[in-house]
Amino acid sequence: MTDDRAVFYRLTLDVLLEEEARLGVHLPTAEIGAEVAKRLSSAPALLADMPPIEVLLDKLRTWGNVDRIYNLRRSSTPQEFIRKDFLYQLTPAGAQLHRTLTAIDHELGATGALQSTMLPEVLDALSILVTAVEAAPPDLAGANRALGRLAGGFTQLTENAKLFVQGLNRSLAVGEKLDVEAFVAYKHVVVDYLQTFILALSRNGPLISGYIDRAEAAGITGYLQSIAALDPAPQLGVSREDIIARDTDRLRQQWSGVRSWFFEGPDRQPIAQTLQDRASDAVNQILLTIRQINEQRFRRVDRTADLVALASWFDAMDDDNCQKSDVLALWRTAFGMYSTRHLGHARLLDDDVDVLAEASWWDSPPAPISAAYRAAGPRARPGPAPRIRSPRHTKRLLAAELGKQQHLETSAEQALADRGSILLSDLGQLDDAEADVLLRCLDCVLSTPKDSKGVRRASTSDGRLAITLRPAPLASPACVTMRGGRIRIADMELTVSLTGRAV
């Protein structure tokens, strides 16, 4: 790794490792050299500096990376018979070391992805899991297979999401030199990509959280110990009970991790919401960078260019060729910072001397100040500075206000759901909370297409309410009264039900 020829050694080992991957054993010297030269064909400078392949292989054999045997192939010429030829292969230690280095290279250059295709895979695994635990008796073997598939899908999704967020941070960190065209192209691609993932997350999120609720209602957490006891892997010096307890704890942690993707914890928001927030922040950062690019393109005055030009003027003023007064004049002209001055004022009627601005504070009488200047503005009271207020009281008030709003909204949803199937014309007078819930439900359900019977079905974005809208028997207008006014709409039969879950 530290040798000057490290790149050639790595390529040589790559050729031998790929031969092992193809179930090969040995490669002759000439074939190794030809393959390495082929890989360097896109870099003519490196190809010109490549040492003889025999030198590289001898050094690798000295280090213990490769081993060799004599090539006993049939020779067709005397020169081939006299020349020594070997077949090379990787040693076990050399192969393991090179695989490790290759894995490190892959990890350092890996880029994550918010794979929207993984969400249907997770949804399918949860569906199989719910079917297994709701069976009578429960299918523990099927639940075990579904849990393994679910854990594998979420592990890949979590790792890719982490790498994607890190790569997004690096990509949006605008350096000193910015390729404008490349960034604009990247902006279009990443915005479309984020919108695709967010759309898939909003579409599959309520379904996934619903399956998680059904699995917990069927008692999946109580079956984890029985699932762990199906096929525990034996381990020397560890009892079977300890192995089952360890596997049960691992399954509980995995289930808790799956749940944390779509359900809020005591001190954190769901991971899905965090990814949506990060996507929104990324879009805002892109828009800010685009705004800066547009300012540089279309603004008549370039502040950066002005500051660079000013810095070059100061740099050109050395002590030999420029006077100190010139430097001070440039400084005052550029930044408008002058030395302290006296407040000049016109002479009084009974005085023949004007107080000039250049006069010192010590050598001139005090300037008269109007009372309006003394009266305007707040004054600092004598004594110690006031203590900084604690934000805890404000946070408690905000939390109480938020709890009150959530209670009103929940009560309004429950009141609307308790009415069952009701015509819009029979709703009567609604209070503010019920009016907000009704408008949210109508906005959600009217955006969905009708089925063959003219019925619309939808659920709110948080998954709490299921709305059904059927045509009324009599086609007549309906008027719903609320404090903000009245809405007129074609009369329809509205059914709102609580699903008991939220995303």
The 10s digit of each residue's pLDDT in 415-434 is: 888 888 888 888 888 888 88
Measured distance CA(487)–CA(490) in Å, rounded? 10
Structure tokens at 360: 């010192």
Q: Residue 4, class by beta-carbon neighbours within 10 Å (0-12 exposed, 13-18 middle, 19+ buried)?
A: exposed
Top CATH class of 6-108 equals mainly alpha
> In the predicted model, is pLDDT for residue 153 greater than 80?
no
Which residue's structure tokens are 């993984």? 118
Cβ–Cβ under 8 Å, residues 494 and 469: yes
pLDDT band at residue 185 under the 50/70/90 scheme? low
Binning pLDDT at 50, 70 and 90, where does residue 111 land? very low
pLDDT of residue 365: 66
The pLDDT, as a whole number, for residue 503 is 43
Backbone phi and psi for residue 497, each to the nearest 5 degrees, phi listed first: -130, 145
Size of the chain, expressed as the number of residues it contains:
503
pLDDT band at 107 (very low <50, low <70, confident <90, very high): very low
199-232 confidence digits (pLDDT tens): 777 777 788 888 888 888 888 888 888 888 877 7
Exposure letters 136-162 (e unless 16+ CB within 10 A, then b)? eebbbeebbbbbebbbebbeebbebbe
pLDDT in tens, 124-150: 888 888 888 888 888 888 888 888 888
C-alpha pair distances (Å), 102 with each of 50, 107, 108, 180: 21, 9, 10, 34
Phi/psi at 3 (nearest 5 deg)?
A: -75, 155
Strands (E), 349-425: 422-423
Domain ranges in the chain? 6-108, 118-286, 409-498
Q: How far apart are the first and last CA of the chain?
A: 50
- The residue-averaged pLDDT of 156-184 equals 59
Helices (DSSP H) in 428-487: which residue ranges?
432-445
b/e per residue, 434-463, with b = 16+ CB within 10 A? bbbbbebbbebbeeeeeeeeebbebbbeeb
User: Strand pairing of 27-28 and 86-90?
Assistant: antiparallel
Pairwise CA distance, residues 156 & 261, whole Å:
13
How many CB atoms are located within 10 Å of the residue 107 CB? Answer: 9
Per-residue tokens: 355: 């107080």
Out of 82-86, 258-262, 378-382, 483-487, least confident range: 378-382
Determine the pLDDT at residue 109: 43
Residue 112 has pLDDT above 50, yes or no: no
DSSP category for residue 27: E
Residues 211 and 205: their CA atoms lie apart, in Å, by 10
Predicted pLDDT of residue 241:
84
Task: Decide if 367 contacts 355 (C-beta within 8 A).
Answer: yes
Q: What is the pLDDT of residues 22-66, one digit of tens each?
A: 767 778 888 888 888 888 887 777 788 888 888 888 888 888 888
pLDDT digits 0-9 by tens, 4-31? 788 888 888 888 888 877 767 778 888 8
| Cβ burial, residue 168 (10 Å; 0-12/13-18/19+) | buried
In contact, 174 and 290? CB cutoff 8 Å = no
Task: Provide the total of helices (H) and of strands (E) in the chain, helices listed first.
Answer: 17, 10
How confident is residue 79, by pLDDT bands cut at 50, 70 and 90?
low
pTM summary value: 0.38
**Of the candidates 449, 431, 442, the residue with the CA atom closest to the CA atom of residue 492:** 442
pLDDT of residue 300: 56
Q: Could you tell me the two tokens for 460?
A: 């709110």
H-state helical runs in 302-352: 303-316, 324-335
Lowest mean pLDDT among 131-145, 233-247, 348-362: 348-362
